[in-house]
Homo-oligomer: A and B are copies of this chain.
Amino acid sequence: MIQRPRGTRDFGPEEMERRRFLENIMRREADLFGFREVSTPIFEHTELFTLKSGPNVVEEIYSFQDKGGREISLRPELTAPVMRFFVNELSNSPRPLKMFYFGQCFRYERPQSGRYREFYQFGAELIGNPGPGSDAEVIALAASIMRRIGLKEYTIRIGHIGVLRGLLARAGIDGVRAPPILQKLDKKEYEEARARMTEAGMSPEDIEHIVEITQTSGPVEVLRKIEGEARDHLEAVFRILSDYGFTNVEVDLGVVRGLDYYTGMVFEMDAPVLGAEKQICGGGSYSLTELFGGEKSFSTGFGIGFDRTLLALEREGYQSPAHQVEAFVIPVSASVRDEAFSITAMLRRNCVSTEVDLMGRNISKNFKHAAAINARRAIIVGEKELAQGSVTVRDMSTGEQELVRREDILSAFKK
């Protein structure tokens, strides 16, 4: 037997139904917010991702040469492709431009629990202005999606990359020297962060102040510890989220997201039910359009890990509705098969999901199959009944049967 590639998945009917159901709720919520879907190719020129994340990213992604010798990579995320699309074709759209996307991403890493080489991301990007309204809008969308899909427990942690960058700059650390320190702080590896700050010549007081700020988290009031634009901005974001009715929001100045292109607000969402690997969403405001050859634009967005969000829902006991077929049509003999197909076609045309015996089974085996596919009703087409213009309709859960006239079948299903 040929196996599927390692780290990838096949989805059967039950799982696919659940996935599409949740994907459609997410899509619908984005639509309610005025975000509109865009789509980009599965692969891109590798340069797009190295520009955004540095040359080392190639080690973690599926990159290869196509037959024309071009360096190509399966997309590891969707922000870079969507911003490339924006720069190439959408930069004259009215602002704010609100886009969302859903699709597969790929990374080459050791497969482990809840992490796949092919995984799904749902995300949104807003290109507009740097006001707190834009940041609040994307956080509210991510949170509304979680509320709408019915995730019971999740938290939203919001920080601002400008706070630590500002403190580092004031201590004389900026440009290329800041990111390695920020990355250590992001991973909460404080000892290594301290070592790097010491190496960089920072005073012990400055170092301890930065570590303390990084560890600042809690309700909006903890913002009193800091001052300046970042504080005003975050307070305004919190206020709008409170207008939205979201109370599970807290400040976490340790959210740094370790990536150079973030410019201001950054946020993460966790589902505690997932334990250590609890993050289900991450985002913030960023700057990428200039890197891709476009004009400077203010952007803010997020990516939701679709697979992990699903896992969180399931761990919370989410039950998807059982799949049903409305009707299963059973011809009792060859002479009524045409009529059975006709009834089947009529019901389907009128949007009643219908199956018909294709295996030439006898009636009791057909009842078994109707139960196996969870049919609500069976329509038994018999010679005698048909000669009198009727068929038998059986309720598959109660076993009750009634004669229904041929022309009344549809109305029996519409009630």
Interface residues, chain A, with chain B CB atoms under 8 Å away: 1-6, 8-13, 16-17, 19-20, 27-29, 31-34, 36-45, 47-48, 51, 62, 64-68, 70, 72, 74, 81, 84-85, 87-90, 94-96, 98-99, 104, 106, 108, 118, 126, 128-129, 131, 133-134, 136-137, 140, 144, 239-240, 243-245, 292-294, 323, 325, 337-339, 341-342, 345, 348-349, 351-360, 369, 372-373
CB within 8 A of A45: which of B3, B98, B134? B3
Contacts of A240 in B (CB 8 A): 338, 341
Known: A11-B39, A36-B13, A243-B338. A45 touches B2 (CB 8 A): yes
Starting from the known contacts A11-B40, A240-B341, 19 additional A-B residue pairs (CB-CB under 8 Å) come to A1-B87, A1-B293, A2-B44, A2-B45, A5-B72, A9-B41, A10-B85, A13-B36, A19-B39, A32-B351, A34-B355, A42-B104, A43-B74, A43-B118, A62-B66, A66-B108, A239-B338, A243-B338, A245-B345
Copies of this chain held together in the complex:
2
Contact between chains at A31 and B99 (CB < 8 Å): no
In the assembled complex, the Cα of A68 lies from the Cα of B110 at a distance in Å of 11
* Minimum distance in angstroms from A63 CB to a CB of chain B: 9
Contact between chains at A32 and B348 (CB < 8 Å): yes
Contact between chains at B137 and A4 (CB < 8 Å): no
* Minimum distance in angstroms from A278 CB to a CB of chain B: 26
